[in-house]
A and B are shown apart, each in its own frame.
Chain A
Amino acid sequence: MPSISRKMAVIAAIALVSACTPGEAEKPVASPGTEASGTVEFWHFFTDREAKAIDTIVADFKASHPKIDVVVKSGQDDTKMLQAIGAGQGPDIGLSYSTDTVGKFCASGAWLDLEQYIERDGVDLNKLPATVRSYTEFKGRRCAMPFLADTYGFYYNKALLPTPPRTLSELTETAKRLTKRKPDGTIERAGFLPLFGFYEHSPSHLGPAVGAKWLNDDGTSAIGSDPAWLELLEWQKELIDWYGYDKLEKFRASLGDEWSADNAFHKGQIAMMVDGEYRIAFLRDQAKDVKFGTAPLPVSDAHPDWYGGGYVTGNVIGVSKTAKNPEAAWELIRYLTTDTGAIVKLANLIKNVPSTTDALAAPGDLGNDPDFKVFLDIFAHPHTSTTPPSAVGPAYEEAFATYLQKYQAGKGGDPGPGLKDVDKQINQLVQLAG
């Protein structure tokens, strides 16, 4: 008898544990022409100046949609949002800062599939550039819409070089030429700081230079099998060896924080770097004396015709599985992501790249800014790429970055087997996530 009681207790405990986990929920879609109304809660991650810009756009929406009230909560992050959705307390609408979340949110169903709303309302997805379409869906499930974009290109100090390098070998040559060393050999100014992990010098942002591929169609890692990554690593290692890894690390340790006014590019401590379009606003605000230029990423010497592209990512927005008012939520999302006037206004307020072709064609003041125009062109370039959504979020980027920390320090061994090992780690994580 006691053993039966124990078994019953174990079964009851498992049942209790299972019962206290979330289940599926059905979301009906209203008939075409039904006017959405009611209150929706909108969580976003912006703060300060950018949060005010969101408030402005939401006020415009409320003026044109008087039956919908929007409660805006700023400064929210993805982890909190996922936890809230899991607990059944999520917002109606969530805005994420990273496309890394798309795979996770789509695969888990944390965000609703928007296909039925898109079809019902005749939203033309072809007005989104192909790259943007790719990072807002996962395995055919469109659970997100793009909410402006960040585009990464190349910054150079015009006082030191009049025109930017167009290929990786030109970048190497220019970096060496512009580097200044002190008498003891330590670096005083680096032409280009090639360490992965420095500011925005991540493999994601540099990968498009060689057309490197992250994932196979089945979601497994392609890092170890794509020779483009080896090309990038060999180029980077050659430049690191020229500087000396220890000297580079010492130099990096002396530089200011990326997001402060002490940013090394602001201070003239580095002559060139890879960064997002948002850096323009920082430079004009914090380093008025720096004469800078913007350009596409330098590309592989084997493919000079790829020049013009860069890396693109963006904010993504979706309707929570637990949304209390999904119709009104979709109405707000449709406004924020497809209304050209709203997108252009917001892009100009936040200084981000607009994410539809219509808005790109008439980007307002942003298009009159020659430095920003470079990023608009990068965004529309066919060789601009992104990091694909994965069921394990950014796991593939971070597993690779972890290996690269050791590799660039000369401790990673032969990159061939090293990258295969990275593949193995990523694939195991993909399997674990279900």
Chain B
Amino acid sequence: MTTLAQRRRRDRLTVLSFMAPVLLGLLVFLVYPLVASVYFSFTTFDLVNTPRWVGLRNWEHLLQDANVRTAAANTLWLVAVLVPARMLGALATGMLLARFKRGAGLYRTLFYLPALAPPVAATLAFVFLFKPGTGPVNSLLAEIGIQGPLWFNSPDWAKPSLVLLGLWGVGDLMIIFLAALLDVPKEQYEAASLDGANAAHQFRYVTLPNIAPVVLFAAVTGVIQTLQYFTQAAVAASVASGQATTGGGVSSTFGYPEGSTFTYPLWLYVVGFRYGALGYANTLAVVLFVVAAAVTVVLLRRFRSFL
């Protein structure tokens, strides 16, 4: 006869054994790197030799680092503009596509396609499209009498141009919004309509509450991805500067023009892998993690009150 306590213990062990591979993965690939990163942030470390403890030196430097201020400001700008822009763009496109009956598959494919382009190739193509003087976008604008801006070559327009690039590749988010929109029960719209709700009311009181989990997901993942914004900023700056270097000086174009596209992960990469200051790079990484975690917690706790 097994007692209840023994049975419960055996059940827990069974559950644990099933979860063990995942727990082991989390331990090795999440917990260990995280703990290691915090430890390295208090050391000087060059990837080759044993780290040397330097106390708070890296953290003190963080407060004086002008590049951190520039990079953080650019990254936060992108979080504030790119994330909402992509969410609104994806939602609007999703709502439009949800209405299509004939040719729905074709339109969905067309709008989703840009998201399949590899980020480097997509950015390259986008910068050439918007290249002042020779790119088709400014040529088209000139046809209708508008003098196009310098886009990626202008410190004022470079970040908005990156937002346009983000909007062009909004298909990944759009497909999730579309699935959520198609899942909203039609009866709720019919009932709202009978109650006299107009389109805006239906969107506010039917659509939005139903797709709230997807909106939250888009916001959280969008913020985290944008805090890690790297490839597009690096490639756009390099190509726009006309100096797409193949060898040395790969990071010398980062931030072009005038530091406007210099994001926090770019600085982290440069410090760690170009300058070999891995200890300080880990300090930057820990800050990035804490900010991402804090924003996620705030979004998860406060999200309901926004809707």
Contacts and interface: CB of A to CB of B under 8 A. Distances in A.
A288 to B, nearest CB: 22
Given A18-B50, A393-B275, A398 B240 contact: no
Interface in B28-87: 32, 35-36, 39-40, 44-52, 57-58, 61, 64-67
A413 interface: no
Q: Which of B133, B154, B240 has the most chain A CB atoms inside 10 A of its CB?
A: B133
Given A20-B36, A428-B61, A433-B46, A398 B270 contact: yes
B257 interface: yes
B17 interface: no
Contact of A432 (B49, B66, B280): B280
B259 A197 contact: no
Contacts of A411: 258
A420 B271 CA distance: 21
Contacts of A321: 48
Given A14-B39, A393-B274, A395-B274, A249 B257 contact: yes
Contact of A86 (B47, B61, B275, B277): B47
Interface in A272-324: 313, 321
B64 A428 contact: yes
A40 to B, nearest CB: 20
B275 A392 contact: yes
B141 to A, nearest CB: 14
Interface string B143-171: 00000001001110000000000000000
A21 interface: yes
B180 to A, nearest CB: 41
A108 B46 contact: yes
Interface stretch (B97-105, B208-216, B247-255): B247-255
A29 interface: no
B256 A395 contact: no
Contacts of A393: 274-276
Interface residues of A, number: 61
B50 to A, nearest CB: 5
B35 to A, nearest CB: 5
A257 B244 contact: yes
A316 to B, nearest CB: 11
Given A253-B133, A254-B132, A255-B242, A402 B259 contact: yes
Contacts, number: 165
Given A98-B248, A253-B132, A391 B255 contact: no
Contacts of B2: none
Contacts of B249: 98, 202, 394
A24 B251 CA distance: 30
B240 A253 contact: yes
Nearest to B239: A257
Contact of B256 (A82, A100, A197): A197
B273 interface: yes
A392 B243 CA distance: 23
Contacts of A406: 258-259
Given A253-B150, A433-B276, A100 B51 contact: no
Given A256-B242, A405-B256, A433 B275 contact: yes
Contact of B153 (A79, A82, A253): A253
B58 A432 contact: yes
Interface in B274-300: 274-277, 279-280
A81 B65 CA distance: 28
A18 B51 contact: yes
A433 B280 CA distance: 8
A401 interface: yes
Contacts of B47: 22, 82-83, 85-86, 108, 110
B242 A252 contact: yes
A434 B242 CA distance: 35
A259 B245 CA distance: 8
A249 B150 contact: yes
A17 interface: yes
A241 B259 CA distance: 21
A357 to B, nearest CB: 25
Contacts of A98: 247-249
Interface of B: 32, 35-36, 39-40, 44-52, 57-58, 61, 64-67, 131-134, 150, 153-155, 239-249, 251-253, 255-259, 270-271, 273-277, 279-280
18 contacts: A21-B45, A79-B273, A79-B274, A100-B248, A104-B46, A107-B276, A198-B241, A198-B243, A249-B153, A250-B153, A254-B134, A398-B274, A402-B255, A425-B66, A428-B64, A429-B271, A432-B277, A432-B279
Given A85-B48, A104-B275, 19 more contacts: A16-B32, A17-B36, A18-B39, A23-B50, A24-B49, A97-B248, A108-B47, A109-B49, A197-B253, A198-B242, A249-B257, A250-B150, A256-B134, A392-B277, A393-B274, A402-B255, A405-B259, A429-B271, A433-B276
